[in-house]
Amino acid sequence: MKKILISIFSLILISACAPEVGSKDWCAQLQEKPKGDWTATEAKDYAKHCLFKSDDE
């Protein structure tokens, strides 16, 4: 049980460090990543938030 709790806590701690999808940091981080390694969701979110970002957001 202790190992499971430590694993869950570690996962939460690591995922909390990732920048929010659509933020400037996230866009910059994704630009650094080879495009062949992008997931379909990342590509869609990148286009939506980084390329075609509207002024009202």
The DSSP line for 1-57 is: -HHHHHHHHHHHHHHTTSPPTTSHHHHHHHHHS-GGG--HHHHHHHIIIIIS--TT-
Report the domain count for the chain. 1
Any domain includes 24: yes
Query: Residue 32 domain-assigned?
Result: yes
pTM for this entry: 0.61
Is there a domain that residue 54 lies in? yes
1-28 pLDDT per residue, tens? 988 988 887 777 776 677 889 899 999 9
Asked if residue 51 is part of any domain, the answer here is yes
Assigned domain for 12 exists: no
Range of the domain at 37: 20-57
Specify the pLDDT at position 39: 94
Q: Is residue 46 part of a domain?
A: yes
Asked if residue 15 belongs to a domain, the reply is no
Q: Tell me, yes or no, whether 31 lies in a domain.
A: yes
